[in-house]
Amino acid sequence: MRPSGIHSIVVNTFYSSSARLAAIVARAVYVVVIANQLGPELYGLFNYGMSWYLLFVPLGIIGIDEVMVREIGRHGAAAPAVVDNSLSLRLAAGLGAVVACVALGAGLDGAEPVRALLYVFALALFGRTLSAWSNAVFRGSEASQYLLAQELGFRVLEVVIGLLLLWRGHGLVALAGVHAAGWLLQGVVGVAYVRARFFPRLSLRVERRLLRQLVLAGLPFLAWALLLGWLVQGPVVLGRTAFGDGSALGQLALGAQVFVLVGSVVAELGTAAIPVLTRSAERADGKTRRFAEAALRVAWLL
């Protein structure tokens, strides 16, 4: 049985925020250690490759995660068509984003270290889009505890293996490989768990009308994600053009990490609330307006 109302929002926000916090803590430890071990120049180059591929993640997600959360929250187990078609769309969009990431990256920067990093990070891009798909299903099903379990397991594993390789003298490509393998494995495990736990008849379906509805509904979210991605990752990408591969790029990359934390609480609160607020809007019971007012108050505090 689904939890209802405020309880559902609080529970799912707790799990989603805990997953985000786990990722942030793991990332903070990772950043501090590898920045110290690699030095600002190599760390800046590593972060440039990561920032570049993160710019293309919205193209692989194409804004439909929020739409999925809404539709699954509205229809529950009766939403297999949305889940099946969204997976087909995610696979196609993810592959397209990978091609764009590699082609543009290699074309704009032919330096061998950067090119090798981009090839490896492109695998992380595909894994990340798959993982985002399963996370949307978890949130829409009001079962964000599975999201927390995956984030804890895979992010900690990535940090531990990455640090071991770093201390054994391996370089940037090895670290990028661990990062990519972690996201690929998380994506595959997430899809497998969705099939085992929520939608046992999960399959790839292509229904043009439904795909069109998903894409059109996701366009505003895609536009917002692209703008936000450029705001967060763009400075590092542009910084390499301005500063080259020197220590200034590494210092800029370290500073940019802090900015990622801004707005995380409100974002998680809003995403966790979508299934409940969708049903509330259909009932016209006024809870949507009260939630919006409360979220704005929290935003002002942040």
pLDDT, tens digit only, all 302 positions of the chain: 444 555 655 666 666 666 666 666 666 676 677 777 777 777 778 888 888 999 999 999 999 999 998 888 787 656 899 999 999 999 999 999 999 999 998 887 767 778 889 999 999 999 999 999 999 999 888 877 888 788 888 988 988 898 899 888 888 899 999 999 999 999 999 999 999 999 999 999 999 999 999 999 999 999 999 998 898 888 888 877 766 655 666 566 655 665 655 555 455 555 555 555 555 555 566 555 565 555 555 444 44
Q: Taken in order 73, 224, 257, 96, is the CA torsion positive or negative?
A: positive
Which pLDDT score, from 0 to 100, does residue 22 have?
Answer: 66
Q: Provide the residue range defining the domain that includes 209.
A: 5-301
d(CA 133, CA 6): 25
Nearest residue to 189 via CA among 143, 146, 136, 145: 146
> How far is Cα 35 from Cα 158, in angstroms, rounded to an integer?
16
The one-letter amino acid at 108: L
Buried/exposed code over 119-147 (b: 16+ C-beta within 10 A; e: otherwise):
bbbbbbbbbbbbbbbbbbbbbbbbbbbbb
Sign of the alpha-carbon torsion through 224, 228, 230, 231: positive
> Alpha-carbon distance 88 to 202, whole Å?
11
Across the chain, how many H-helices and E-strands are there? 11, 0
Whole-model pTM: value is 0.79
The total of other beta-carbon atoms located within 10 Å of residue 169's CB is 7
Q: How many domains does the chain have?
A: 1
Name the nearest CA neighbour of 294 among 58, 88, 6: 6
The C-alpha atoms of residue 248 and residue 241 are separated, in whole angstroms, by 11
What the block records as the tokens of 147 is 């999201």
pLDDT of 170: 86
